[in-house]
Amino acid sequence: MPLLDVQNLKKYYATQKAVDDISFSIERGTIFGLLGPNGAGKTTLLRMITGIFYPDSGDILFDGRKFELEKDVQNIGYMPEERGLYKKMKIGEQAVYLAQLKGLSKSEAIQKIKEWFTKFEMQTWWNKKVEDLSKGMGQKLQFVTTVLHAPKLIILDEPFSGLDPVNSNLIKEEIFNLAKGGSTIIFSTHRMEQVEEICDQIILVNKGKKILDGGVQEVKQLHKENLFSIGFEKLPEGPYATPAFDLAGTKNQSLIVKINEGYTPNHVLHHFIQQGAGIVSFQEILPSLNDIFIKLVEGTPLTRQFQPVTA
């Protein structure tokens, strides 16, 4: 049974179909990437999952039953893209307050905060105020307050914005740890390299619709263009009179070839071996998620146009 099952979710605004019939499900313990260009409807989707917005239609099943804000608040940790903290409040007090709002008792909250502060080397922060923190430090604190109550579902909207590489890695490690510990993580971003690194599953939304769904490798296989890179001791001279492939480019001592339909890598290798070229390496080139993203989203206007809703 998936932890989260989203079925035919719809949310229309006066001028936009923000989320237009999106369905997907997330298995326990996976890191799930929610991708999409700006204004694709990601935030609206997340706000419905966290119970901040009500969907116009469709169902959200959490743990196999209908999502209920009061009961499930403790099971969800949400770090929105527009995030912040009370500037004038002391950091320790603030963390306790947010944890209590999630349903933890005061002593429980204090104990867990101390654990996390130790882990992130933030012990000395307790009596400081948020306004004394740098942006990156604030992000770390925000992350701690999001995952403090050990929720089953953690939703992180652009969690690395404003973090330096060291702190980014620290948070990344924690995300992996949390997933290993059984938490499910939804990770929303448009930074593709992070998605490839972190996520198991992804969906891509554009203009309120889901246009891609699957495992990261699966998606890559689906969108591969039969490109291979062949490394030589010495680049062979062209032209390469064979129907097996077209030349897509050269790079240093390598040729990048696109194998035509009906042929296999064996045909290509056979061709070069017959010519007596010294082959050093042979490797398939899978498209990066970035390429897939651009390819799929390309052609649609960069910023979303307002459209009349007829529903």
Partner 1 sequence: MNKTWLIIKREYLTRVRKKSFLVITLLVPLIIVGFYGAIFAIAISGGGSDKQKIAVLDEGNLFDGNETALKDDNMAYIFIHGETEASFKKKYKADGYSQFLYIPQLDIQQPSNIKLHSQSAVNLLTKSRIEKKLDQAIEAKRLKAAKIDPELYKAINSDVSVDNTIDSEKGEKKSSAGVAYAVAFAGGILIYIILLIYGTMVMRGVMEEKTNRIAEVIVSSVKPFQLMLGKIIGIGAVGLTQFAIWIVLIALLQSVIPLLFPDMFHQVVAQGGINAPAIPQSGTQKMVSTISEGLGSLNIGLIVFCFIFYFLGGYLMYASLFAAVGSVVSEDQQEAQQLMLPIMMPIILAFVIMSKAASDPDSSLAVFGSLFPLTSPIVMMGRITYGVPWQQLVISMVLLFGSFLLFTWLTAKIYRTGILMYGKKTTWKEMAKWAFKRG
Residue closer to partner 1, measured from CB, 149 or 210: 149
Least distance in angstroms from the C-beta of 209 to partner 1: 23
Alpha helices in 88-236 (DSSP H): 91-101, 106-119, 135-147, 165-180, 192-198, 216-222
In one-letter notation, the amino acid at residue 128 is K
Residue closer to partner 1, measured from CB, 88 or 234: 88
Residue closer to partner 1, measured from CB, 26 or 85: 85
Least distance in angstroms from the C-beta of 140 to partner 1: 15
Residue closer to partner 1, measured from CB, 51 or 214: 51
Contacts of 1 (CB under 8 A, 6+ apart): 63, 64
Contacts of 50 (CB under 8 A, 6+ apart): 76, 78, 155
Least distance in angstroms from the C-beta of 54 to partner 1: 6
Report which secondary-structure segment, H or E, holds 272: helix 265-275
Least distance in angstroms from the C-beta of 49 to partner 1: 10
In one-letter notation, the amino acid at residue 63 is D
CA 273 to chain centre: 43
Residues of the shown chain interacting with partner 1 in the complex, contacts defined by CB under 8 A: 47, 50-52, 54, 69, 73, 76, 78-80, 82-89, 97-98, 100-102, 105, 142, 145
Please state, in angstroms and rounded to a whole number, the distance separating the CA atoms of residues 162 and 193: 16
Residue closer to partner 1, measured from CB, 50 or 194: 50
Least distance in angstroms from the C-beta of 205 to partner 1: 19
